[in-house]
């Protein structure tokens, strides 16, 4: 990493360093690939099943059939891999002790975390865009006569929303890991939060409204073309809520990083 005489590092040098760290760890690369594979594969399978059992799947529907959301039916498994990527991208430095070297090279801790967030966000967004568009096109091909196109109202926005949602989820996980300074602990908090607490609260009538403002529930509104009856908000609200959770996690990570030793 390039250091200046005043003890500061240039931001481009920080970005280059963070990029080198992430690509040198195979596990982070594999998690992005896994997110792609499971999202595409499960989405394709459910799209095919929907085509073959269309009348059964839509007989009780209260909104028009959402072909776009159907192709993204496998995104929950992709979420797991994207959460793991965000955790590993930050947590590997703590588990290996390399964070001390990074802080010695870049004493400005907020700047260091900003560089990490930029690189993690860029990589996750690129991977998510590829995942979202391939998932969409394959799913629509398998839906046959029930498919939609990118030119239909709200469809392109929903596809882009799926990619942005995965990126925000990744950055949220990175921020939580920066706060906890431990990737095992971060996964121990994030996985139950998203895949146990949120679904459980959503199923309990008296508290289900609380779960409506969790990042996963809010983020999934971004990839639906139609707003279902009874939903408290649409894709704009979903983006703002999910973005607020992500920003809070990153700011919390920056605050902890500035106050705690490595």
What average pLDDT does this structure show over 8-34? 84
Q: Which of 123, 128, 120, 121 is nearest to 91 (CA)?
A: 120
Task: Give me the chain's average pLDDT, please.
Answer: 88
Rounded to 5 degrees, what are φ and ψ at 180?
Answer: -90, -20
CA–CA separation, 215 vs 219, rounded Å?
6
Contacts of 172 (CB under 8 A, 6+ apart): 86, 215, 242, 245, 246, 249, 250
**Between 58 and 36, whose confidence is greater?**
36
Query: Of the given ranges (14-28, 74-88, 111-125, 133-147), which has the lowest mean pLDDT?
Result: 14-28
What average pLDDT does this structure show over 150-154? 93
pTM of the shown model:
0.90
Q: Angle formed by the axes of helices 26-52 and 109-143, to 10°?
A: 30
pLDDT of 6 higher than 60: no
Residue % of the chain over a pLDDT of 90: 55
pLDDT digits (tens, 9 = 90+) for 95-145: 877 888 888 887 788 888 899 999 999 999 999 999 999 999 999 999 999
Contacts of 179 (CB under 8 A, 6+ apart): 249, 252, 253, 256
pLDDT digits (tens, 9 = 90+) for 206-238: 788 888 899 999 998 999 898 877 788 999 999
The two tokens of residue 170 are 């990744």
What average pLDDT does this structure show over 42-70? 85
3 pLDDT tier (thresholds 50, 70, 90): very low
pLDDT of 146 higher than 70: yes
Q: What is the pLDDT of residue 260?
A: 73
What average pLDDT does this structure show over 151-163? 95
Q: What is the pLDDT of residue 23?
A: 82
Q: What is the pLDDT of residue 195?
A: 87
The two tokens of residue 152 are 């239909």
Q: What is the pLDDT of residue 202?
A: 80
Q: What is the pLDDT of residue 8?
A: 62
What average pLDDT does this structure show over 36-45? 95
């Amino acid at each position: 990493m390039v250091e200046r005489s005043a003890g500061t590092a240039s931001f481009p040098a920080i970005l280059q360093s963070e990029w080198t760290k992430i690509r040198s760890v195979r596990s982070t690369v594999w998690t992005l690939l896994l997110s792609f594979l499971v999202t595409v594969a499960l989405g394709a399978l459910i799209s095919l099943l929907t085509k073959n059992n269309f009348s059964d799947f839509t007989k009780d529907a209260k909104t028009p059939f959402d072909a776009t959301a159907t192709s993204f039916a496998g995104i929950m498994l992709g979420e797991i891999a994207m959460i793991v990527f965000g955790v590993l991208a930050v947590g590997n430095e703590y588990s290996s002790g390399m964070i001390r070297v990074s802080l010695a090279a870049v004493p400005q801790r907020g700047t260091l975390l900003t560089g990490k967030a930029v690189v993690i966000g860029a990589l996750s967004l690129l991977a998510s865009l590829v995942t979202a568009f391939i998932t969409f096109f394959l799913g629509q091909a398998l839906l046959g006569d029930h498919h939609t196109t990118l030119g239909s109202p709200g469809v392109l926005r929903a596809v882009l929303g799926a990619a942005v949602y995965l990126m925000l989820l990744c950055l949220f996980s990175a921020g939580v890991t920066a706060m906890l300074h431990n990737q095992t602990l971060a996964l121990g908090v994030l996985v139950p939060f998203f895949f146990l607490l949120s679904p459980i609260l959503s199923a309990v009538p008296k508290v289900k409204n609380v779960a409506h403002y969790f990042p996963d529930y809010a983020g999934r509104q971004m990839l639906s073309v139609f707003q279902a009856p009874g939903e408290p908000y649409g894709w704009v609200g979903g983006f703002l809520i999910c973005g607020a959770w992500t920003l809070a996690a990153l700011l919390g990570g920056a605050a902890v990083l500035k106050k705690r030793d490595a």
